[in-house]
């Protein structure tokens, strides 16, 4: 079964994909993403791979006849892609060179453009789940792209609030957030010429880092190659700092927020940024989304972000001092 089911309480759609139960779980033997598997080319740097167990499809089956006027169903149009970061099975994102990460960002951009051409696609989400704590089933370094046939509720809420702020204040909310964080400074981790990294005032995760373009841009397609290189540098630096924080692979969910496919109307008030959600609050403790968070969307952060920002900033400096990396995060 693959279909969409409408939630009338939230005005949003739930993806139903029962065939995903058959996904392999942390294979100990051969990896389908490694050269020699027969699934991928023998030589590649970064690669787009169509998901073997997609929740959304270009030509989905008809929805099951279980819906009604109240409980609507529809076909699960869309696309699910896997983006392979490297042919090396154990290389992590911060271990990749800036030049290699530029190729990854170029691939993300190319896929955003290509998927935006499909008539059924309304929103393209590029993301990465990292670590077993975030439910990762394949350890090979990779991210994913989902092309939705609707604008999901969280993105829709963000767009609406940015629009309301713009109509009230005449400025971009995220531009003003950037300035507020720069003025306060204590939550800023790092900045280069084109991007700013900080743990924002309001985040519900202790290490809920944001990476935000300094210039008002709405999507990957807006960036020059110089800006993409700055973004590659920023991704390398911040994920390296995360891994240094607790001296272990740092689990996270990384999500790129950019304009919808038909997003020309939002260009004045929406702003490209990347959000990280990590369950780690200590080297041996997890921050769970429990009843209040899930039932009421009333998040509770167990730590003050002014303190966690200081911790991550210190880890970033330690990362810079590691042999062979001292100049890797400099423009």
Active site amino acids: 142
Write down the residue that tokens 């393209």 correspond to: 124
Q: What is the DSSP string of 111-174?
A: HHHHHHTSTT--EEEEEEEESGGGT----SSEEEEEEESS--HHHHHHHHHHHHHHHHHSS-HH
Of 51, 52, 50, 72, residue with least CA distance to 63: 72
Rounded Cα–Cα distance for residues 146 and 125 (Å): 5
Q: How far is CA 174 from CA 47, 161, 210, 211, in A?
A: 32, 11, 11, 11
Task: Region of 246 please: left (phi>0), alpha (psi -120 to 50) or beta.
Answer: alpha
Tokens of 117: 């051409």
Residue 302, helix vs strand vs coil: coil
Task: Region of 291 please: left (phi>0), alpha (psi -120 to 50) or beta.
Answer: alpha
Of 184, 214, 183, 179, residue with least CA distance to 196: 214
Rounded Cα–Cα distance for residues 267 and 23 (Å): 39
Dihedral of CA 289/122/162/180: which sign? Answer: positive
Looking at residue 57, what DSSP letter applies? B
Cα of 263 vs its chain's centroid, Å: 19
8 Å CB contact between 86 and 45: yes
């Amino acid at each position: 079964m693959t279909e969409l089911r409408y939630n009338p309480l939230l005005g949003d759609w739930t993806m139903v994909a029962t065939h995903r139960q058959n996904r392999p779980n942390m294979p100990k033997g051969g990896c389908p993403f490694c050269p020699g598997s027969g699934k991928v080319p023998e030589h590649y740097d970064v690669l787009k791979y169509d998901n073997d167990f997609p929740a959304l499809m270009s030509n989905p089956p008809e929805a099951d006849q279980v819906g009604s006027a109240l409980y609507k169903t529809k076909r699960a149009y869309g696309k699910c892609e896997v983006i392979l970061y490297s042919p090396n099975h154990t290389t992590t994102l911060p271990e990749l060179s800036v030049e290699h990460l530029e190729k990854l960002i170029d691939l993300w951009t190319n896929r955003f453009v290509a998927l935006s051409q499909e008539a059924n696609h309304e929103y393209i989400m590029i993301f990465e789940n990292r670590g077993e704590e975030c439910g990762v089933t394949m350890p090979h370094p990779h991210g994913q792209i989902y092309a939705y046939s609707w604008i999901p509720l969280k993105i829709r809420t963000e767009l609406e609030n940015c629009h309301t702020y713009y109509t009230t204040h005449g400025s971009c909310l995220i531009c003003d957030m950037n300035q507020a964080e720069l003025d306060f400074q204590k939550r800023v981790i790092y900045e280069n010429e084109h991007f700013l990294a900080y743990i924002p005032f309001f985040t519900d995760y202790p290490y809920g880092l944001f990476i935000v373009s300094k210039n008002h841009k709405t999507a990957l397609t807006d960036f020059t190659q110089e800006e993409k290189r700055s973004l590659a540098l920023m991704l390398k630096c911040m994920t390296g700092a995360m891994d240094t924080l607790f001296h272990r692979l740092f689990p996270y969910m990384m999500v790129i927020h950019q304009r919808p496919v038909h997003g020309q109307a939002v260009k004045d008030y929406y702003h490209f940024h990347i959000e990280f959600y990590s369950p780690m609050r200590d080297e041996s403790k997890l921050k769970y989304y429990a009843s209040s968070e899930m039932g009421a969307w009333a998040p509770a952060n167990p730590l003050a972000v002014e303190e966690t920002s200081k911790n991550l900033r210190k880890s970033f400096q330690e990362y810079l001092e590691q042999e062979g990396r001292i100049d890797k995060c400099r423009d």
